[in-house]
Structure 1
Amino acid sequence: MILNNLNYPLDFKFKISTLSSDFNITDRNGNYVAYVRQKMFKLKEDVIVFNDESKSKELFRIKANQWIDFNSSYSLSDLVNNKNFGRLARKGMRSLWKSSYDVLDANDQPKFTVTEDNAWVKFFDGIVGEIPVIGMFTGYFLNPSYTVRGTDGKEYFKLKKMPSFFGRRFQLDRMIDIDDEDESLVVLSLLMMVLLERARG
């Protein structure tokens, strides 16, 4: 299955009424693109992407390839057509200071990189977040952004954490046109990355 004709920007909005890390993806007109659910109490990350909040149709599955691995990676599967899309790989040591990921295709060939634009934002978020009362409002003024670049060096997407009380909203914008299958690969990779980054704080 291909995620195409997407009307950007896309909003990733986390639900605060559930214990699991569920979030909706809607387009600029508020139309549903997908509903993302991370299974709870799993030793390895296991994420299912549904058509909408009714969870009537499973579209994609994202699963961690290792239980505990500093250079962890996540396989992206198309459940409708039963095929492998590719994988998202976290760049271990390099991600300690500034988050960095590789996006690989079904043949395990590098296609894109995702990098955090300014590591200082997360650094100050961690410090200010510990200050009583003031720390509750870091989600309004300390918000990281990420850029997706192709192997050609061009910038294809920009993902931003939007101001919100619980850090529950992200927005994805496309900078230039991209092949439909590559677009799906990137969007799936970014929704997994959002779960990982949000868990890191």
Structure 2
Amino acid sequence: MSNCPKCGKPMKFIEQHQRWYCHACKQYAPKAATGQPAAPQQPIAPVAPQQQVNPLWTQNVYRIRKKVLTLWNKYWIEDQQGKILGFSKMKMFKLKEDIRIYTDENMTTELFAIKQQQILDIWGTFAVVDTQDNKIGYIKRKALASTFVRDEYEVYDAYNRLIGGIYEDTGRGLVRKYVPLGGLVPQHMDLTLNGQKIATINQEFKIIGDIWQLNCIAVPPYLDRRVLLACLLMMGMIERSRK
């Protein structure tokens, strides 16, 4: 606030003219030799810190590496450059799977979980849940087709509504099931949502362990990528049971 040099009363700064005005004298204050008095400073609102987005939710290419140990299977979720985005450690021979995915091998910060809905039901339904135990989606393996023809999965939303599927290439599926040593043939699968292909899954050939790559082609923003990663981890788990 500035005072009028003539009457000494407070003046008001007029933004339109960038001048100080004295209502008592009914005139603008004269410009000083050094220039117009500075405009009043507006309080600067504090800038809220931006929440860092976990890179796990934004990638278009994911890789999952599996290392087979005596009693445990370890899985690393990586980006295209090999940077670790997540880690999971699964114990073999469990009656009911409860898979936890963490940010790293320290396993202190959980990202999401995959929970088997029925005991001893490796071919059944799995729920994908967040850290607050809220359902993100469901994955169900189609037992009949997966046993005799090719691997197939159904994908459900958080309200348990069917929205898509995962389908193995039929030719490869038949070879893997009926040709001697066909299990060594890497899998190739397409992910569809409402009839449209949105991603592909490719398995790399490995004698020990497995590597899976997920390529997101047209994944809509509303589909949580944790559901897709859960599909990859489930495939690794089922391959484990086959071997």
Hey, what does 2:83 align to over in structure 1?
31
Residue matched to 1:99: 151
1: CA distance between counterparts of 2:151 and 2:92?
Answer: 24
Change (3 A) 1:156 1:198: farther
Map of 1:154 onto structure 2: 196
Q: Which has the larger radius of gyration?
A: 2
Aligned twin of 1:63: 115
**CA–CA distance in structure 1, aligned partners of residues 66 and 93 of structure 2:** 19
Corresponding residue to 1:73 among 125, 133, 155: 125
**1:165 pairs with 2:216:** no
Q: Match of 1:5, as an amino acid? A: T
**TM-score, normalisation: structure 2:** 0.69
Secondary structure in structure 2 of the residue aligned to 1:47: strand
CA distance in 1, matches of 2:205, 2:120: 32
Q: CA RMSD in A?
A: 2.4
Q: Which has the higher helix share?
A: 1
> SS state of the match for residue 73, structure 2?
coil
Count of equivalent residues: 187
- State yes or no: 1:192 paired with 2:234: yes
1:59 and 1:112 map into 2 onto residues whose CA distance is 23
Q: Are residue 5 (structure 1) and residue 63 (structure 2) matched?
A: no
Distance 2:70 2:63 in 1: 19
* Counterpart residue number, 1:133: none
Q: What residue is the counterpart of 1:45 in the other structure?
A: 97
Alignment of 1:121-140 (within 5 A): 121-123=175-177, 127-128=180-181, 139=184
Alignment correspondent of 2:47: none
Contact persistence 1:121–1:144 (CA under 8 A):
no
TM-score (norm. length: structure 1): 0.82
List gaps (5 residues or longer) in structure 2: 1-52
1:164-192 Cα deviation digits (max 9, x unpaired): 22142111111224215433322223322
Correspondent of 1:176 among 218, 221, 230: 218
Alpha-carbon distance in 2 for matches of 1:158, 1:46: 25
Runs of 4+ with deviation above 6 angstroms: none
Q: CA 1:177–1:60 in structure 2 vs 1: closer, same or farther (change >3 Å)?
A: closer
1:67-120 CA-partner distances (Å, limit 9, x unpaired):
1347511111101x4311121111121211211111111100112201111312
Matches within 5 A, 1:84-123: 84-97=135-148, 98-117=150-169, 118-123=172-177
Tell me the secondary structure at the aligned position of residue 232 of structure 2: helix
Task: Provide the residue aligned with 2:10 in structure 1.
Answer: none
Gaps in structure 1 of 5+ consecutive residues: 130-137
Identity of aligned residues (%): 26
Q: Secondary structure at the match of 2:224?
A: helix
SS at match of 1:120: helix
